[in-house]
């Protein structure tokens, strides 16, 4: 715990999904030895299908005045749930952590200490050794490389879900009201005053990750489409490259005629050209459709999240959650 005469306030935001077996113990451990003396917790139930609602209500009762509980109307996804918690947070610093003890509560203090001492806007927890499934680790590595290209992320920086944000950053990114938020993308839009500290990553105590392959693909699409026009630029470059390839094929066909090479007339050219151009056109149409579709959702004010219930009151400085 940080001991200081004028210690800043801290809010811990925890998105909850099917965490009936862990969330109560996690909140108890966190508040028994809080990272800062003035620490409160915001729990966001993101459409859990187990008894998480009951456990979150029990946390509000056991820690009256220190726990706020938001129940969303359905499952909106981790990043939307985090945005709901950030809108409700009131601390000068906000730590975002998982609900399954993969982020040990004691490690939260290290993130806050680094942020306070160094004046950083964001401090990421860099896992010394990741305990995810190998497929998830592969997906994280791919995600990291894409984020470096699209978001301008420093190559050495690991984007983990375990991080500490300053109030300045929280206020800036919660201004975003689009239907498909990506918290790390919003962070890199605002600041480069970012660092990381090594932290321990533990095995899940119960259950399994809520991230399916489809949810990971949706997250990647959000990063691609919502936070960069690089895919459109890549499409333009790809189109030029294919046009150049078509010119080369035309020259090749001419040379075949000049040197009387025995091949079925026009077959190689037709086959290669049709296959390549058909594939490229479908990719570009799908990419443009994704941009147009997301623009339509935003124009129609599709909700980022919908709060059904609010319980407790541990964040007097927080915003009123957006409701639709």
Kindly report, residue by residue over 40-53, the tens digit of the pLDDT: 999 999 999 999 99
The answer to the question of residue 138 being in a domain is yes
Report pLDDT for 273.
72
Are 269 and 189 contained in the same domain? Answer: no
How, if at all, do strands 67-72 and 39-45 pair?
A: parallel
Are 148 and 281 contained in the same domain? Answer: no
The answer to the question of residue 191 being in a domain is yes
The answer to the question of residue 222 being in a domain is yes
Report pLDDT for 226.
64
Handedness of CA 7, 9, 15, 20 (dihedral sign): positive
Are 244 and 207 contained in the same domain? Answer: no
Are 63 and 203 contained in the same domain? Answer: yes
The answer to the question of residue 89 being in a domain is yes
Are 101 and 80 contained in the same domain? Answer: yes
The answer to the question of residue 24 being in a domain is yes
Are 37 and 179 contained in the same domain? Answer: yes
Total domains, the chain: 2
Report pLDDT for 301.
73
- pLDDT tens across the length of the chain (324 residues): 554 446 789 999 999 999 999 999 999 999 999 999 999 999 999 999 999 999 999 999 999 999 999 999 999 989 999 999 999 999 999 999 999 888 888 899 999 999 999 999 999 998 876 655 555 656 666 667 776 767 778 888 888 889 999 999 999 999 988 888 889 889 988 999 999 999 987 665 565 555 566 666 666 666 666 666 666 666 667 766 776 776 676 677 677 667 766 656 666 667 667 767 766 776 777 677 667 766 766 666 778 899 999 998 754 444 545 444
Are 279 and 175 contained in the same domain? Answer: no
Structural domain of 53: 10-227+303-312
The answer to the question of residue 49 being in a domain is yes
Report pLDDT for 83.
95
Report pLDDT for 52.
95
Q: What global pTM score does this model have?
A: 0.74
The answer to the question of residue 113 being in a domain is yes
Are 202 and 280 contained in the same domain? Answer: no
Report pLDDT for 277.
73
Are 220 and 262 contained in the same domain? Answer: no
pLDDT tens digits for range 147-193: 676 777 888 888 888 999 999 999 999 998 888 888 988 998 899 99
Q: What six digits make up the tokens of 147? A: 């984020």
Are 152 and 289 contained in the same domain? Answer: no
CATH code of the domain in which 51 resides: 3.90.550.10
Are 179 and 277 contained in the same domain? Answer: no
The answer to the question of residue 319 being in a domain is no
Q: What six digits make up the tokens of 234? A: 């890549």
The whole-angstrom distance between residue 227's C-alpha and the CA centroid of its chain comes to: 12
Are 158 and 201 contained in the same domain? Answer: yes
């Amino acid at each position: 715990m940080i001991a200081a005469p004028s210690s800043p306030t801290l809010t811990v935001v925890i998105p909850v999904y099917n965490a009936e077996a862990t969330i109560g113990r996690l909140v108890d451990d966190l508040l028994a030895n809080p990272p800062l003396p003035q620490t409160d917790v915001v729990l966001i139930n993101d459409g859990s299908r187990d008894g998480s609602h009951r456990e979150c209500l029990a946390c509000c009762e056991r820690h009256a005045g220190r726990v706020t509980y938001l129940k969303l109307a359905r499952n909106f996804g981790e990043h939307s749930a985090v945005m709901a918690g950030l809108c409700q947070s009131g601390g000068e610093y906000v730590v975002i952590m998982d609900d399954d003890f993969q982020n040990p509560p004691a490690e939260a203090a290290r993130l806050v200490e680094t942020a306070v001492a160094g004046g950083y806007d964001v401090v990421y927890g860099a896992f010394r050794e990741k305990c995810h499934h190998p497929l998830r680790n592969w997906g994280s590595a791919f995600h990291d490389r894409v984020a470096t290209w699209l978001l301008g992320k420093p190559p050495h920086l690991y984007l983990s879900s375990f991080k500490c944000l300053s109030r300045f950053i929280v206020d800036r990114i919660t201004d975003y009201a689009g239907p498909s938020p990506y918290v790390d993308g919003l962070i890199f839009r605002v600041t480069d005053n970012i660092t990381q500290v090594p932290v321990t990553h533990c095995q899940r105590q119960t259950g399994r990750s809520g991230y399916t392959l489809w949810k990971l693909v949706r997250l990647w699409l959000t990063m691609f489409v919502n936070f960069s026009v690089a895919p459109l630029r890549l499409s333009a470059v790809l189109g030029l490259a294919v046009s150049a390839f078509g010119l080369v094929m035309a020259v090749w066909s001419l040379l075949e005629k000049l040197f009387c090479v025995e091949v079925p007339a026009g077959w190689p050219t037709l086959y290669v050209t049709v296959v390549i151009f058909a594939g490229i056109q479908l990719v570009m149409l799908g990419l443009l459709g994704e941009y147009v579709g997301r623009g339509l959702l935003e124009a129609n004010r599709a909700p980022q999240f919908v709060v059904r219930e609010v319980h407790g009151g541990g964040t007097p400085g927080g915003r009123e959650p957006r409701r639709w």
